[in-house]
Amino acid sequence: MIRHYVLATMLVAIATVASAQGRVAGVVRDEAGQPIKGATLTFQNADASPNAFTSTTDDKGRFSVIGLRSGEWSVVVQAPGFDPQMGGLNVRQSTPAALAFTMKHAPAPPPSALGAIASKDIQSELRAADQLYNAEQWDQAIAAYKALLARAPALTVIALQIGNAYRNKKDWENALASYNDLLKIDPNSDKAKIGVALTNMEKGDLDAARTTLVRAAESPTAGKEVFYNLGEVEFAKGAVDEAMKWYQRASSEDPSWGKPLLKLGLCSLNKGDKDSAAKLMERVLSVDPTSVEAVQAKNALDQMKKS
């Protein structure tokens, strides 16, 4: 993971958890109790196989990991702008475990890391660039991001946004170059690998997209987004059964995530299995009721009732 600040770790008390099939789930919040989206949790146990698992929190701060074997696991929780946390878990195979982490905001990066730009100036310029991006003014957004990156090279995650902007304007060559620049600095960045795959998929090279994500999925730290997007590639190739396997794996990583469940339901519907499709749509409504996917699932259920 790219670090934009000096790591100041906080020890989390070692917990003993009982976990059905090695499942650990929970939530990550800040000091005010607000959920933290995009926090990364890394679980490691040198004596286990596989010996590492990674999960990323959703917009409600939730995470889920399945497959941890019994034993002592270390856990590191990281999120941009927060002090990382380190601790340990004693996992036992019994009942599902629920954990809660509270992260403290990190102090502003030192001037040596950000050049001469004050933290408030960085935030202001980044907000301005994001506004251009959200307004789909791709060229202006790219210019703003590049200007900020040139003045604050430590903020290399901006390369991801630059790549996304190029991809949105269908400039495949520069999109791939931006994602690959990020991968040179952070070879384990799932977001950059997904960016490479989506760029290849959108330009019509499904084989290249699949190759990128299959390699990413082989990593012991691969997250749910890799599995979900691999399902998307397989679905685009017409390999519905293979796509369903990856959607299921993404769902297993985070059972409360509606996106892969919705896609599993749509795949079942395409195969003519309305009973399975209906059950999957109902699961979306149950586990992720406030999501966009829940709206789509309800619409699909209404259509099935009419047909």
Q: For residue 29, list its beta bridge partners.
A: 35, 102
Residues in the chain: 307
φ, ψ of residue 89 in degrees (nearest 5): -135, 140
- Position 239 scores a pLDDT of 92
Burial class of 217 by CB neighbour count within 10 A (0 to 12, 13 to 18, 19+)? middle
SS (H, E, C) 182-231: HHHHCCCCHHHHHHHHHHHHHCCCHHHHHHHHHHHHCCCCCCHHHHHHHH
Residue 79 is predicted with a pLDDT of 82
Q: Would you say domain 10-103 falls under CATH 3.60.20.30?
A: no
If the chain, 307 residues long, is cut into consecutive pieces of 10 residues, what is the mean pLDDT of each piece? Answer: 31 38 79 88 80 86 84 80 74 64 69 51 80 90 89 76 93 94 87 92 92 91 90 91 95 91 93 93 91 88 85
Q: Where are the domains of the chain?
A: 10-103, 112-306
pLDDT at 118: 54
Among all chains, which residue has been given the structure tokens 């099939």? 21
Distance of CA 214 to the CA centre of its chain: 16
Q: Measured between alpha carbons, how far is residue 198 from residues 67, 84, 149, 225, 231 in Å?
A: 28, 30, 23, 12, 12
User: For residues 165 and 135, is the Cβ–Cβ distance under 8 A?
Assistant: no
Residue-level pLDDT at 289 = 87
User: Fold match between 10-103 and 112-306?
Assistant: no
pTM comes to: 0.59
d(CA 4, CA 273) in angstroms, rounded, equals 48
Which CATH architecture does the domain made up of 112-306 adopt?
Alpha Horseshoe (1.25)
Half-sphere exposure of 280 (CA within 13 A, CB side): 26
